[in-house]
């Protein structure tokens, strides 16, 4: 397990602490993440039970199975979370933390990636259908 990370949003109104589940970055190329961040969403998965946030966190339901949080003051993306209560999964924005040195180890929604986006390295690149199947959602977006 990695050491605790401490970060903040752009304006400093929200501070977060978490322990990474693994010392790695993931990138999501889905349309929602691109609209939300202006690019791919680069994230670090939080070890269950370790994410703590203080400040004006605003949460909204972004799909049938997930919600997103941002700073209520500056709008910085904070995290993406599966809304199923039995799945404590938080993908926390890597941009909240100083450079962790973590390698990029996975890209999801690779079939939705714009042509100009290219991350180097030999790591898994997972399609939308493969990702949704991995979290128990069928292709039409209904929970299985």
Q: What is the pLDDT of residue 141?
A: 46
CB distance 63 to 103 below 8 Å: no
Three-state DSSP class for 68? strand
Report how far apart, in Å, the C-alpha atoms of 111 and of each of 23, 108, 120 are.
25, 8, 16
All residues at 6 or more sequence positions from 77 whose CB lies less than 8 Å from its CB, including other chains? 36, 37, 41, 68, 69, 70, 93, 95
Write the pLDDT tens digit of every residue in 19-49. 999 999 999 999 999 999 999 999 999 999 9
CB distance 41 to 92 below 8 Å: no
Three-state DSSP class for 138? coil
* Predicted TM-score (pTM) of this structure: 0.89
Q: What is the pLDDT of residue 139?
A: 58
* 11 pLDDT tier (thresholds 50, 70, 90): very high
Write the pLDDT tens digit of every residue in 86-142. 888 999 999 999 999 999 999 999 999 999 888 999 999 999 999 999 888 875 544
Domain ranges for the chain, please list them. 5-134
**Tokens found for residue 83:** 């809304």
The answer regarding whether domain 5-134 maps to CATH 3.40.1080.10 reads no
């Amino acid at each position: 397990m990695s050491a605790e990370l401490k970060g903040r949003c752009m304006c400093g109104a929200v501070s977060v602490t978490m322990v990474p589940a693994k010392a790695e970055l993931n990138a999501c190329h889905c349309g929602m993440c691109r609209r939300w961040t202006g690019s791919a969403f680069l994230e670090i998965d939080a070890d269950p039970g370790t994410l703590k946030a203080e400040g004006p966190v605003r949460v909204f339901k972004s799909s049938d199975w997930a919600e997103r949080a941002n700073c209520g003051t500056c709008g910085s993306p904070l995290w993406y979370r599966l809304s199923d209560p039995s799945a404590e999964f938080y993908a926390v924005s890597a941009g909240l933390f100083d450079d962790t040195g973590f390698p990029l180890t996975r890209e999801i929604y690779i079939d939705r990636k714009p042509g100009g986006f290219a991350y180097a390295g030999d790591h898994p690149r997972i399609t939308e259908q493969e990702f949704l199947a991995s979290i128990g959602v069928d292709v039409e977006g209904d929970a299985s």
